[in-house]
Structure 1
């Protein structure tokens, strides 16, 4: 039986715990969330009757924090942590089973634990909201950057087309006039090949800027994707890399430009081939949902470094060595997908590599 003085002392401990927990949450740095949660657990530990024997443990889908080990050998109280009304985890407070029983816990201690779990749930909700806001802000900034770059590159592409056509035309004429001069012909061949390369870069710029005319028709995209993969079989075999196609069904109809869809598949698979090690597998997955078609291309390569993740769709940005990439491949893909009112994103593959996910509205 507890005396009035003991009961008062326990109430003071519980109120102190709630005050400390509230202070920790109010002043929380979301980048140090684990340290804050650990401090909350120690506040709970001090609030229980037999604090020297108390063990507190918090488990969520991403974290496992405890004041000490041995919860599996304890009798304990437990309360659920809910985030947006979904069960996210729980907090347990236990005493060693060889010294205590459940009868040693107070009714007020269960209420205290429930209140702390509610506060922790609110904290995790605010953290998720802040992360979502930061993600949306990055997406808006990225979209603005790409829109401005699209306008600039469209102008550049139009300006370059005429002089490139003149260089190619006059180089071809000059080659006919100097027939027999081996050295001059070699030099002209270099001029022509470089002009053709430059023309291809301009074409990619036009794709990025969405200036290429589209012919969008309702098509079964499964054979288009199969044909694109088959055309790359030689490159895949030479690199000793497999490519598997997984489709939810054999007929998936989408209103799309066939040539541009092929361009998207080519660029993403070629990118995956470049970064994939031999004897690995690239997986192309096509899923039809009620309102959209989802296309996933995953590889087992080195993955995208975190510091470069926000720039992969920027034009002229490349992680390939100089001379091995123009930095326009993913920009072209981004421009085509956006022009079809779709979305494209990337995420780490497990255990290694990258997954590019494209969603086209039906």
Structure 2
């Protein structure tokens, strides 16, 4: 469940499950806790990027620090509108959105652009460079760690890369020159609604509004003079949330930066990009460091030994963490971390409050 729900609401949910669905047992687990459990940690900060807003939840030793939780009203929808606006300067995109021989009305063209942007990022064609850097793909030096490839489930990608290199080696000089040009420009051709659309590096600007919401001002959906309720950049919201934690808790929290949500498995490098922008919140002068001063920020992910989640990534962390907790809690009646049917018959809906550690 979302974090921060009232006890009265949780009692109503407990009553619903027992009296409407006749369940044998019921437990409450807040979503940020499920997400951090999926990484194998008990402390960290969960950044859940949603469609309309992004939630930040610092966690220490298995408990959400409720007084530090915050959110910023910027999410995937803003990124989609921003990139759709950028694509208006791409002739290939606009020729498909509103052909010159049969132009569409502005609303239809805008919807086409937004749908195309959704297709782009969900196909994994977007990556996020670190602050002040561009994302480079390391070259394969010809040495492959077969064991590591198999554990990571990437054998198909390695085979495809090898076949591509062999084909390139046999290509003519003109074809190789064209391939180098495409690689330099980072061009991709996407099939979308019967159109072949070519886009370049501009697609990697998709997540820029998360880190700089002022970029949304020129877009029609955001009033230009609206500065009163300007949402916080994601890095500032995370930094301020962690700063509200106790000083002796911050070092452990910074060692578990976990970025999740729908973007988690589709947009490459978003965790590292956020990490690089959080550096101002870490003391960089070694002479001023103390035992309690955070020295680094560590990005965490769902471990690769969860084979079923290799291709699904971090966006299903909530489901994975909940599954782990359910297996432990419901298989050990001595823990008293869930409400059984006899417990509900004896104490009613209020039983959920006394049998959920996070609600004590």
Using the size of structure 1 for normalisation, the TM-score is: 0.19
* Max Rg structure: 1
Larger relative contact order, structure 1 or 2 (CA cutoff 8 Å, min sep 6): 2
Using the size of structure 2 for normalisation, the TM-score is: 0.20
More helix by share: 1
More strand by share: 1
